[in-house]
Amino acid sequence: MSFTIALNFEDGITRFIGCKAGEKVLDAAYRQKVNLPMDCADGVCGTCKAQCERGDFDLGSDYLDEALSEDQKAAGLVLTCQMVPSSDCVIRVPVASTVCKTEVASFGGTVAAVDRLSDSSVELRVDLAPEAELAFLPGQYVHIQVPGSDQNRYYSFSSRPGSRQATFLIRNIPNGLMSSYLTGAAQVGDRLTLSGPYGSFYLREIRRPVLMLAGGTGLAPFLSMLEVLAQSGCDQPVHMIYGVTHDADLVKLEALDDFASRIQRFSYATCVAGEASSHPRKGFVTHHMDACALHDGDVDVYLCGPPPMVDAVLRHFDGEGIAPQSFHYEKFTPNVATVRQGGTAS
């Protein structure tokens, strides 16, 4: 028996390792050439301290309080030199991946289909190469090299982890490098190079109600999250508000309807900001966050969309004094990697 451990580094890179039954995380990482921070490896110094965000494990008692206090343990902190997983786990490591001498994985695939969902949205489906070992957390993204160039573009998975076909919901930008390829030159069977995964925007363990706020093709990571929830089940209410600029920008509604039928407590609402819209709910997502969806602050909020939308929601929460239990967001700007950010507030 072995378990999959996701190590999320502070520079946004995630590395997945296998951990054998009874094996300590630090030992498993070193065995797979990921040099997690450590000085003593005996539970004395606390150098290997990290945050376990999901999973079951045993720390034993063979470590000093100075290395890990009871309060820190109660807050989910662990010593990777003592941590023995009993399930798959997600661990946030408070250093950059470069410090741990690990690198991003690259893998190959071929174009399976390019579907024009609307004038503004394209869905890319990629068959992964048989040897590709792609692991990611629902909500994360990859770099895709644009065929015929040395340029990369950055897209969130809309497919679930573990699928042999990866899907991406991509904004169609006039004269954009990837958009021009997808809408004009792409052929089934074209080879693609992907690298990753990246990002601190991913689905955490659900312990309370969830509010998902999606803007435009920012819907993509939520589709991946919902695929996971449909498979694993969820006993908490999950509500999504999906906002776009024009009526025609609303895509993947059949998929959302399907999730509503498969996930017992999932619901969603759409809204359109354009003044010419005939949609019954007009305006921005902030206009449609009622008290019921916010659960008096006892809610985990996930937000993904273009920077103006993300900034507007942040201002709205601040102005209304809304303080969710946790708040995870990602803002994206087409073609500009440095603007793509993830944030978490607890």
Give a three-class secondary structure readout of the chain: CEEEEEEEECCCEEEEEEEECCCCHHHHHHHCCCCCCCCCCCCCCCCCEEEEEECCEECCCCCCCCCCCHHHHHCCEEECCCCEECCCEEEEECCCCCCCCCCCEEEEEEEEEEEECCCCEEEEEEEECCCCCCCCCCCCEEEEECCCCCCEEEEEECCCCCCCEEEEEEECCCCCHHHHHHHHHCCCCCEEEEEEEECCCCCCCCCCCEEEEEEHHHHHHHHHHHHHHHHHCCCCCEEEEEEECCHHHCCCHHHHHHHHHHCCCEEEEEEECCCCCCCCCECCHHHHCCHHHHHHHCCEEEEEECHHHHHHHHHHHHHHCCCCCEEEEEECCCCCHHHCEEEEEC
Same domain for 237 and 297, yes or no, is yes
pLDDT band at 338 (very low <50, low <70, confident <90, very high): very low
Co-location of 233 and 303 in the same domain: yes
Which of 232-236, 297-301, 324-328, 334-338 bottoms out in mean pLDDT, i.e. has the lowest?
334-338
Domain extent, residue 51, equals 2-93
Say if residue 120 is in the same domain as residue 145.
yes
Residue 250 sits in the same domain as residue 311? yes
Q: Is the pTM of this model over 0.75?
A: yes
Is the per-residue pLDDT at 343 higher than 60? no
| Residue 64 domain-assigned (yes or no) | yes
Q: Is residue 130 part of a domain?
A: yes
Q: Supply the pLDDT for residue 307.
A: 85
In a domain, 100, yes or no: no
Residues 123 and 146 grouped into a single domain: yes
Q: Is residue 115 part of a domain?
A: yes
Question: Quick one: 251 and 185 in the same domain?
Answer: no
Q: Are residues 148 and 218 in the same domain?
A: no
What is the tally of structural domains in the chain? 3
pLDDT for res 87: 95
Same domain for 166 and 269, yes or no, is no
- pLDDT tens profile 12-64: 889 999 999 999 999 999 898 898 888 777 888 888 999 999 999 999 888 88
- Can you give the CATH number for the domain in which 164 is found? 2.40.30.10
- Claim to verify: residue 152 and residue 250 sit in the same structural domain: no
The percentage of the chain sitting over the pLDDT mark of 70, rounded to a whole number, equals 96
**80 inside domain:** yes
